[in-house]
Amino acid sequence: MRLDHELDLAQQKLEAAGVSQWEVMAAHSSSVSIGVRGDEVDKFQEAETQGLCLRIIQEGRLGFSFVMGADEAALDAAVVQAQASAEASDPEPHLSLAGPAGELTPVEVFDPALAEDPVEAKVARAKELAAAALAADERVVHVQPAEFSSSVGLVRLRTSHGLEFSHQGTQAAAGALAMASEDGEQEMGWDSQSARFLADLDIPALGKEAGRRAAAFLGARPVADGRWDVLLHNSVAVQFMDLLAASLMGDSLLKGRSLLAGKEGRAVASPLVSLIDDGLYPRGLGSSSLDDEGTPQQRTELITDGVLTGFIFDRLWAARAGKASTGNAMRPSLKNPPGVGFSNLYLQPGEKSFAELTAGLERGLIISEIMGGHTADPVSGEFSFGAAGHLVEKGRIKRPVKSIAVAGQVLDLFKSVVAVAGDLRFFGRSGCPGLLVEGMSISGP
């Protein structure tokens, strides 16, 4: 296999340069992305990438470099660059590289059917997605983009301490943006999903939901300012969960940027809230036997029944904290050294359906869309987002709502959760069910 050759060559060059502590990660991926407009393909992208990255420890200093492609001269330069990077780094007594991991827990992340899926089938799915969105409501007049994509990836990791690891995975994704129109008014609706296995994607349901969301917002208007009981759709709740999760990372904790510093063992959320990171989650997008620096991944309880029970760490930040790594070293790409990151983070679902929680709402709001989620301050936890959704009275949806803002503080939000739906859904590596929150601050235009 080609990656074996690249690993061997990198090892030879590192050892010839006198580097005794090293780590090499090599990766290869191939991907296809199809987009359609109506019944015609208007986007076709096919890509294949290969490269490797190096981490070395010399005299207690960390060096890093990467090379894309398989050029031997570039690999020579990468070794020199890693050594120069180490020389320019500050000494770090807590640096370490992984050794053999022992018996590993297997994960199911490779779908042979997806790996062999022909282009014609991908095109058919993109068209099916667009057709489902158009058919969702007679007021849906346009769908673009409607896209289907898939990828197959292989990663190899080797260290000078004897670690040898290989990980192969697949991923498919689909998404559609629909536009609905009535009496001169236009609204948009979006839905998307990613999965390791082709069978876990429901293309017709995705398209239908995108079209339904677009039509459902026609005729929307604001509600009065005040404190409202709010039922957060899972696609919205997950964004608040991610805001809270920034304070559960070990590097944020040690840098003084965590809202949860000093609160371990104390209640920080409603007793209905349990937050878990699970690197071995079945078919999870972040699932792997080892993390990106060779530590076994695991299930880590972070908040249990509202009580803060832990943080996530990679090797470096765990050592600095006097703890063990939780297997949470992640790399955005080969161009980045590993850092603390979540594998599959999710909030434990409840037992009632979203419809049952809606039926039990005397007067409140369903929030199914927020705008500006990336603008929240993870250090203070303060947020103020534009929002849209529906007004609920006596358990029935009365009308659509838009041009409102929802504001508050993320810890206060999770302390005010009074019900958790059973509709856990993952959005990438983060999963959340719907949440009923009492007394949220809502304001109009």
SS3 annotation, 164-208? EEEEEEEEEEEEEEEEEEECCEEEEEEEEEEECCHHHCCHHHHHH
Q: DSSP assignment of 349-364, as one string?
A: P-SB-HHHHHHT-SEE
Residues 6+ apart with CB under 8 A from 162: 99, 100
* Tokens read off for 103: 């018996």
Find the angle CA(431)-CA(295)-CA(282) to the nearest 5 degrees.
35
**pLDDT value of position 211:** 97
Map tokens 């009632």 to a residue: 352
Give dist(CA 240, CA 385) in Å, integer: 11
Find the angle CA(338)-CA(342)-CA(348) to the nearest 5 degrees.
170
Sign, Cα dihedral of 137, 138, 140, 144: positive
Residues 6+ apart with CB under 8 A from 181: 139, 141, 218
Fold of 2-215: PmbA/TldD fold (3.30.2290)
What is the full per-residue pLDDT of the chain (445 aa) written as tens digits?
578 889 999 999 999 999 999 999 999 999 999 999 988 999 999 999 999 999 999 999 999 999 998 789 999 999 999 999 999 999 999 999 999 988 999 999 999 999 999 999 999 999 999 999 999 999 999 999 999 999 999 999 999 999 999 999 999 999 999 999 999 999 999 999 999 999 999 999 999 999 999 999 999 999 999 999 999 999 999 999 999 999 999 999 999 999 999 999 999 999 999 999 999 999 999 999 999 999 999 999 999 999 999 999 999 999 999 999 999 999 999 999 999 999 999 999 999 999 999 999 999 999 999 998 777 888 899 999 999 999 999 999 999 999 999 999 999 999 999 999 999 999 999 999 999 999 999 998 7
**Backbone angles phi and psi of 150, in degrees to 5:** -150, 155
Give dist(CA 268, CA 261) in Å, integer: 11
Please, is 38 exposed, middle or buried when counting C-beta atoms within 10 Å of its C-beta (0-12, 13-18, 19+)? Answer: middle
What does the domain layout of the chain look like in residue ranges? 2-215, 220-445
